Amino acid sequence: MKLTCTQENLSKGLTVVGKSIGKDSTLPVLSNVLLTTDNKRLKLSTTNLEIGTSCLIGAKVEKEGKITVPAQLLSNYINNLPAEQINIEAKGTDLKISSGSYNANIKGIDSQEFPLIPKIEEKPFAKVSGKDLKTALSQIIFASANDESRPEIAGVYLKTDKSKIRLAATDSYRLAEKVVEVTAGAEEEVEMIVPISAMLELNRILSEQDEAVEIASSDNQVRFSFGDVELVSRLVEGQYPEYQRIIPKELETKAQVSNKELSTALRTSSFFSQKDVAEVVVKTKASQGVVEIIAESGEVGKNVTKVKAEKIEGGDREISFNPQYLLDCLLNIGTDKVSLMITADEKVGALKPIGAGEQDYVYIIMPIVKK
């Protein structure tokens, strides 16, 4: 292998693939990045055996070849080089790098030892705006469980048809669902559970630009491809809970409030909640046009914050929540104003954005039931 590329392109490519490296001490090659010449470009690939990420960058290739070298070392070195041309040459399992007055020799591992990242030959079953998908993932992934004993909810549920993709995440205490329109969809419904680790990685590397993302799957694997980047992940086996049954058809009390003001009230009140139970009481008072956030602890004291509501529909309600569960949604919902909703029997609460995405997103939260 012998090629030339820019420091900027190589640095960006290594940043894209850098989080998919493995940490298995019994298989050192998982800590490496695979460099391969591919159709007159340089392909960077990493895998942890569950997720595989690859990125193509522009390069002037003089000699074809491949090699694996420690990903962290290579990334740290390249990131600290000046923004100039970089010459790369592989000889055996050594990688020689030169740029101006900088010269390095990195010991690598034979590329034959690098695990194969599954190739999905199936045609994409959906195409969606990358910007829309990134927004959707930001709005739901925090609600997923982090519980290896229940792998089916330690992931994101994805269901697509001709016109939309439905994404959902839950940890049994809360649920986030987002519907995104597709530019091309499946003739038949396709559904799957993608591990949360893969969705977190996809959200990290997706661009803010409106770049199309193609989704394909086969043999219990899924591929997300956009631009010069591909992410391949295994799928979670099992049946996702029938979560739509817990989404209430009627949320009687609805209070429209400022996202910022409600977030501040929840954050300050949480300082006064009991150490063993993170809890705040939420009261809607239609006659006063306010939502009260109350927290009290025998050890610390009591705090009451009144948040002005633009409008309150329905009767007065009182319900207890874990404040962090509300804050997680408010931080990612993406609108200045939100609708805080409570069922008539005070068994379920919900948050929805006011404005963009109002009809396409819902966040359900279960209350804290006092014994």
pLDDT in tens, 317-331: 999 999 999 999 999
Q: Do the domain assignments include residue 370?
A: no
Which pLDDT does position 22 carry in this prediction?
87
Instruction: Give which of 92, 78, 101 is closest to 16, Cα–Cα.
Output: 78
Q: Do the domain assignments include residue 191?
A: yes
What pLDDT digit, counting tens, does each position of 8-24 carry? 999 999 999 999 998 87
Q: Do the domain assignments include residue 96?
A: yes
Sign of CA dihedral 128, 129, 133, 136: negative
How far is residue 36's CA from residue 58's CA, in Å, rounded to a whole number? Answer: 12
Which pLDDT does position 273 carry in this prediction?
87
Tell me the pLDDT band of 188, cut-offs 50, 70 and 90: confident
Q: What mean pLDDT comes out for the span 262-283?
A: 91
The domain containing residue 262 runs over which residues? 249-365
- Are residue 47 and residue 151 in the same domain, yes or no? no
Give me the number of domains the chain comprises: 3
Average pLDDT score over the chain: 94
Whether residue 307 is predicted with pLDDT greater than 60 in this model: the reply is yes
Tell me the pLDDT band of 371, cut-offs 50, 70 and 90: low
Q: Do the domain assignments include residue 120?
A: no
CB 338 within 8 A of CB 330: yes
Q: How many residues does the chain have?
A: 371
What pLDDT digit, counting tens, does each position of 256-265 carry? 999 999 999 9
How far from chain centre, in Å, is Cα 140? 8
- Are residue 25 and residue 105 in the same domain, yes or no? yes
Q: Do the domain assignments include residue 121?
A: no
What pLDDT digit, counting tens, does each position of 38-51 carry? 989 999 999 999 99
Whether residue 131 is predicted with pLDDT greater than 70 in this model: the reply is yes
Q: What mean pLDDT comes out for the span 249-273?
A: 95
CATH code at position 268: 3.10.150.10
Which pLDDT does position 19 carry in this prediction?
92
Beta bridge partners of 226: 229
Tell me the one-letter amino acid at 143. Answer: A
- Are residue 263 and residue 203 in the same domain, yes or no? no
Q: What mean pLDDT comes out for the span 203-216?
A: 89
Whether residue 178 is predicted with pLDDT greater than 60 in this model: the reply is yes
Q: Do the domain assignments include residue 371?
A: no
